């Protein structure tokens, strides 16, 4: 019995020795794919853009301002001819007719007449500005800018600014446009108000309108806004402004003088008539001021 056990144990040991000395079969290993190495080429860096500094000059500011002021030219209304055939007024509309102080600040009317005409007051009849502003009317054409177009033999030659007074200004000289040295003259009256194409009316219109100046930009006008900047009285609504300084040689007479005005467009079509009253009256006299009576100061005695 012991012999069999020993034999069994020896066989078991022999089997274990055989297993430990016999190497296991090698497992085939898959070959790794070849890796291609690519040399890195340094990429050139994009150049850094340096911001350009714009030099602002007076000329560049002026050009930019002029570019911003460009406006679309009005196109003629196709119904203009039919309106003219029906004898309708198609020319520019006056947006403001009145006065301003010598420094350009607009004056406010002191009241209105029975028919609604504004009244502007002045005590000396000169030293202020007459201001006329207009915009395109039914014809949709730009207001004309001419202030002098005169031919003594052709009464149809008229300025685009047609303005007249019903009382003579200054000495009422009938010489046309005698507003320059060596001789200064006044302005004749057209009474009653008339727009007839006669030599007398055409001469009076030219005599008064030639003393005006034309302004086509609001920020370079003869009047001021409330903030002190140059501006048309009627704002952006107007497209042209006419200004005249009333000098002593053609000052308004005492009393009420009616100023009537109308503007023609670039094709000569007149617009509706606008008017205002310039009232010159004596400055009210103020009662003399009484000087305050001085009370004598009591004499102080030393103790």
Question: CB atoms < 10 A from the CB of 234, how many?
Answer: 20
Higher pLDDT, 20 or 101: 101
pLDDT at 56: 67
Tokens of 49: 């853009």
Question: Which of 41-55, 106-120, 191-205 is predicted least confidently?
Answer: 41-55
Reading across the β-sheet that carries 118-122, which strands appear in turn? 111-112, 118-122, 274-280, 255-263, 161-165
Whether the predicted pLDDT of 122 surpasses 50: yes
Higher pLDDT, 24 or 159: 159
pLDDT at 20: 47
pLDDT at 36: 54
State the chain's mean pLDDT as an integer.
84
Q: Tell me the torsion sign for CA atoms 158, 159, 162, 164.
A: negative
Provide the pLDDT confidence category of residue 213 given band limits of 50, 70 and 90: very high
Residues in a beta bridge with 183: 180
Q: Mark out the alpha helices in the chain (DSSP H runs).
A: 2-21, 58-69, 80-85, 199-209
**Residue 93: which of 239, 211, 223, 193 has the closest Cα?**
239
pLDDT at 46: 56
Mean pLDDT across 195-214? 97
pLDDT at 68: 58
Higher pLDDT, 121 or 23: 121
Q: Could you write out the DSSP letters of every residue in 66-128?
A: HHHH--PPPPPPTTHHHHHHTT---SPEEEEEEEE-TTSPBPPP-EE-TT--EEEEESSS-SS
pLDDT at 6: 46
Locate the domains of the chain by residue range: 72-280
Q: What is the pLDDT of residues 124-149, one digit of tens each?
A: 999 999 999 999 999 999 999 999 99
Mean pLDDT across 239-257? 97
pLDDT at 140: 94
Provide the pLDDT confidence category of residue 72 given band limits of 50, 70 and 90: low
Percent pLDDT > 70 in the chain is 78
Whether the predicted pLDDT of 224 surpasses 90: yes
Element (H, E) at 278: strand 274-280
Question: Which of 15-19, 199-203, 207-211 is predicted least confidently?
Answer: 15-19
Question: What are the percentages of helix, strand and coil residues in the chain, rounded to 5?
Answer: 20, 20, 60
- Cβ contacts of 186-192, under 8 Å, gap ≥ 24: 186/249, 186/250, 187/250, 189/164, 189/165, 190/164, 190/165, 190/166, 191/166, 191/167, 192/166
pLDDT at 280: 96
């Amino acid at each position: 019995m012991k012999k069999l056990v020993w034999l069994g144990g020896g066989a078991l040991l022999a089997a274990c020795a055989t297993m430990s000395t016999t190497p296991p079969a090698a497992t085939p290993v898959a070959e790794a794919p070849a890796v291609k190495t690519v040399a890195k080429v340094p990429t050139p860096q994009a150049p850094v853009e340096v911001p350009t500094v714009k030099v602002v000059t007076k000329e560049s500011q002026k050009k930019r301002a002029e570019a911003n002021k460009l406006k679309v030219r009005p196109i003629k209304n196709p119904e203009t001819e039919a309106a003219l055939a029906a004898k309708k007024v198609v020319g520019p509309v006056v947006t403001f007719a009145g006065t301003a102080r010598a420094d350009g600040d607009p004056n406010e009317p002191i009241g209105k007449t029975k028919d609604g005409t504004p009244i502007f007051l002045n005590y000396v009849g000169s030293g202020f500005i007459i201001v006329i502003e207009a915009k395109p009317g039914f014809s949709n054409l730009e207001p004309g800018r001419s202030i002098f177009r005169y031919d003594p033999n052709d009464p149809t030659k008229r300025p685009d600014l047609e303005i007249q007074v019903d009382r003579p200004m200054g000495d009422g000289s009938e010489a046309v446009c005698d507003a320059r040295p060596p001789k200064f003259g006044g302005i004749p009256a057209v009474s009653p108000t008339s727009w007839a194409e006669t030599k007398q009316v055409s001469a009076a219109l030219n005599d008064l309108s030639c003393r005006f100046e034309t302004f086509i930009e609001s920020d370079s006008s003869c009047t001021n806004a409330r903030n002190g900047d140059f501006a048309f009285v009627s704002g952006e609504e107007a497209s042209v402004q006419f200004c005249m300084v009333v000098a002593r040689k053609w000052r308004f007479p005492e009393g009420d003088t009616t100023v009537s005005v109308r503007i023609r467009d670039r094709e000569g079509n007149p617009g509706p008539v606008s008017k205002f009253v310039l009232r010159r009256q004596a400055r009210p006299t103020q009662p003399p001021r009484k000087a305050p009576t001085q009370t004598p100061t009591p004499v102080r005695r030393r103790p």
